[in-house]
Chain A
């Protein structure tokens, strides 16, 4: 079932060259999507538009049939989407549990345990966790928000191969078992192969493989 729709979205940094040139598509719950493309092609910009961090010059982004600009970007970010970043983006003065509690609509501890953190690790300073553990905390934070859409920007970019595989596995689980719509932006073709649908962003156009 379609949860988000992109309708004729255009975006430009300088109003001369369009990085997104009237793209349209829809995203379903329970699926994992990968968006591939060269550096600077507009992948992260597209993710930002989906997440309500920025607004398109033309076109609309719909969530559950509603224009997110009209319902409000802040409430869209709070209730509908959750971000996972390459650099984890955890708040350094909070413990993993506190970081998850930032968005928590669900109890943090079971979610942290589900993504593979022990009770002892949950109380540590986040900066004392490994990269993989920090990314698990970020995923737990996304899950705890109970958002239907998870937007992941290069989630395995800073991780070794084994840890990256584990993280992808968790994200797949989020899509297929928890019925989330997971959108991953990546350079990695290997990661993209794990997705249900692959999009390639090229010259401002979104092309489905």
Chain B
């Protein structure tokens, strides 16, 4: 009689044991499959969240290296001039070629008078004219005020790399001057030295400032007065020969989880690291993903716990049953069936039941997984505070061109309220693979005491 037939007959004829083992295996596989499915769903949500929140690496001029900066006596006092290697388009190109970097935004800096419109007036020192600082950007969508949700585009479009002489203005400036998309404004560099031309800019977008407007501000520091322009316009306004990225370049990555690896690769590029500094920012992702990460950690512990308990229960039950089957083991040994084949029969019996139980767990897990996911997610979300992005120690990458910290408007951040769990055939495949390993381990562990006995001892204990 073949080992398969013996195993099959045992399963068929020992109905009570078969049913009991079936339910143990069904419960075990249902919980582990549910855990895996929730983990996978949380992982997918985290990936989508990472992609939407993003993370950035900033390449900027190294302010800490004094050799790069020169102090000069100017009419109004001391002036600091950067004399190190500037960030060039070649440097940007090299970094963009690093795997995982998807976009960049270079930031230039200038100051202008409003020639045919008015800024929102702030506190003014003396009787000087109103002026404001303005950043030039490569792609306004990636400008840190937008990525940190402090600016929200409410009309028009974002500025792209090939735009020429365009501007994004705040809704406050637009309202005050009755400006609309397509209108033009004229600005002029406010520096004392040199002759600067009037430069006309076309309004392509209007943003709303979501931050505080009540606190003490000068016209220049009031963020509603930020005119976001392209680099070509900046070149003409400031009368520069080349585009300058005075405030550094932000590089954006596909997956913030990979950000440290990508930063490491960038650091290995042949750039002038005596003059440049590299800083990493994935704080937004870390803040919003906290509940998801907690959930995933909890799920991992639940899966591991489930597996350990399941194996424990399985070993206990099988040990008892195999001990009861010493009689049979002795008979089989006496007729020349090897210990290995006897254990293989016990294994087959459990596997035959497991194949059915694991298959059914696909349906039982589908029934309960969403409910359990919601329960766990609510528990972990309740224990998590609202995301709060702290001011970093160095602060560099969060500073406005005026040196002010750009807060992160967490109220507008996309949050994960729940995860949609689907039990996938792939996860079921894991259950079959890992379940088989666990069953093999359990059967071997359960059989060890009987199998280590000599056939004669087993037979002598039977009578």
- Residues of A whose CB lies within 8 Å of any CB of B are 44-45, 48, 51, 53-54, 73-79, 82-83, 85-87, 89-94, 98, 101-104, 141, 145
Find out whether the CB atom of A53 lies under 8 angstroms from the CB atom of B13: no
Interchain residue pairs A-B with the least CB separation, the first 4: A78-B336, A77-B336, A54-B456, A93-B13
Q: Which of A45, A53, A78, A104 is within 8 Å of B1, CB to CB? A: A104
Known: A48-B459, A77-B336, A103-B335. 7 other contacts (CB 8 A): A48-B455, A51-B334, A75-B336, A77-B335, A89-B334, A93-B10, A102-B1
> By the criterion CB–CB under 8 Å, are A94 and B9 in contact?
yes
Q: List 20 A-B contacts (CB under 8 A).
A: A44-B460, A53-B455, A53-B456, A53-B459, A74-B337, A74-B338, A76-B336, A77-B333, A78-B337, A79-B336, A85-B334, A87-B462, A89-B331, A89-B462, A91-B328, A93-B10, A98-B9, A102-B332, A103-B335, A104-B1
* Bound Cα distance from A20 to B227, whole angstroms: 107
Tell me whether B14 is interfacial, beta carbon within 8 Å.
yes
Nearest CB in chain B to that of A44: its residue: B460
Contacts of B1 in A (CB 8 A): 98, 101-102, 104
> What interface size band does chain B fall in?
20 to 34
CB-defined contacts of B333 to chain A, threshold 8 Å:
53, 74, 77
- Specify which chain B residues have a CB less than 8 angstroms from the CB of A77 in the assembled complex: 333-336, 455
Give the distance in Å from the alpha carbon of A82 to the alpha carbon of B330 in the complex. 13
Nearest B-chain residue to A141, judged by Cβ: B335
Query: Could you count the A-B residue pairs with CB atoms below 8 Å apart for me: how many are there?
Result: 72
Listed residue (B10, B331, B336) with the most chain A CB atoms within 10 angstroms of its CB: B336
Determine which of B9, B327, B337, B456 lies in contact with A89 in the assembled complex, contact meaning CB atoms within 8 Å. Answer: B327
Tell me the bound Cα distance from A51 to B459 in angstroms: 12
B residues less than 8 Å from A86 (CB atoms): 463
CB of B338 to closest CB in A, whole Å: 5
Interface centre among B9, B334, B462 (most CB of A within 10 A): B334
Majority DSSP secondary structure for residues of B touching A: helix
- Provide the bound-state CA to CA distance between A51 and B1, in Å: 21
Distance A42 CA – B150 CA, assembled complex (angstroms): 94
Shortest beta-carbon distance from A93 to chain B in Å:
4
Interface flag for B454 (CB, 8 Å): yes
Cβ–Cβ < 8 Å partners of A101 in chain B: 1
| A78 touching B335, Cβ below 8 Å | yes
A83 to B327, CA, bound (A): 14
Contact A83 B335 (CB under 8 A): yes
Distance of A53 Cα from B334 Cα, bound (Å): 7
Q: Measured between C-beta atoms, what is the minimum distance from A25 to chain B in Å?
A: 20
B456 near A74: Cβ-Cβ < 8 Å: no
Within the complex, the shortest CB–CB distance from A126 to chain B, in Å, comes to: 11
Tell me the bound Cα distance from A44 to B456 in angstroms.
9
Is A54 within 8 A of B455, CB to CB? yes
Bound CA span A19–B332, Å: 27
Within 8 A of A (CB), among B1-56: 1, 6, 9-10, 13-14
B454 to chain A, nearest CB (A): 6
Q: Distance in Å from the Cβ of A121 to the closest Cβ of chain B?
A: 18
Given contacts A82-B335, A83-B335, A94-B9, contact A54 B454 (CB under 8 A): yes
In Å, the complex CA distance between A103 and B327 comes to: 17
Name A89's closest neighbour in chain B (CB-CB). Answer: B331
Residues of A with C-beta under 8 A to B334: 51, 53, 77, 83, 85, 89
Contacts of B460 in A (CB 8 A): 44
Residue of B1, B13, B327, B337 with most partner-chain A CB within 10 A: B1
Q: Does the CB pair B338–A91 fall under 8 Å? A: no
Please give the distance in Å from A44's CB to the nearest CB on chain B.
8
Query: Closest approach, in angstroms, between the C-beta of A11 and any C-beta of chain B?
Result: 11
- A77 vs B334: C-alpha distance in the bound complex, in angstroms? 6
